[in-house]
Structures are given as structure tokens and as C-alpha cells.
Amino acid sequence: MILKVKVKPGSTQNQIGLSAEGEIQIKVRAVPEKGKANQAVIELLAEKLGISRSGLTVVRGESSRDKWLEIRDFSPEEVKKKLFP
């Protein structure tokens, strides 16, 4: 499945939440240099979903705050259950 998220790098803590518009918002402490923020997003999502980092790929938005991530072997319902119990 493809998951669209809004990333806020350089935050004070790592967390996943919903914006007022209902978008998935991921805050990471990492700065947006040399892919560090992308890596932090993948690590945080992998931990929350209970999968390996190789199960996640940024398919669009490598250098943007708006990212599309491919999550292998998960349905949208499963992702929502794991991220927002």
C-alpha cells in the first residue's frame, strides 16, 4: 500500500499524529540533511508497525515534506490500527 504523510524534521521529539485536516503527520528529530530525516521516518514507522525497515520505501518526495511511502504486506486498515490504536 502507499501511505501519504507530511514530515516535520527538526522537531523536539519523534511522533506520529494526525493534522487538523486528517493527514498523517510525522515529526522527527533528525534534520533534513543527506537523507537523515527520511531514514528517521522509515525507522519510526517500522518500529510502530512492527516490521523491518526494508519493508518501507520512500517512493515519492525524497526531498519534500510531503512523502509517499510504500508499505509492503499491509492493508490500509492494518496500518491505521497499528499507528492509531
Architecture of domain 2-83: 2-Layer Sandwich (3.30)
Annotated domain spans of the chain: 2-83
Global pTM value: 0.92
Q: Report the pLDDT value the prediction gives residue 38, as an integer from 0 to 100.
A: 96
pLDDT digits (tens, 9 = 90+) for 10-61: 999 999 999 888 899 999 999 999 999 999 999 999 999 999 999 999 999 9
Q: What angle is formed at CA 13 by the lines to CA 62 and CA 19, rounded to 5 degrees? A: 65
Q: Report the pLDDT value the prediction gives residue 32, as an integer from 0 to 100.
A: 93
**Residue 36: exposed, middle, or buried by beta-carbon count in 10 A (0-12, 13-18, 19+)?**
middle
Q: Report the pLDDT value the prediction gives residue 72, as an integer from 0 to 100.
A: 92
Q: Report the pLDDT value the prediction gives residue 85, as an integer from 0 to 100.
A: 86
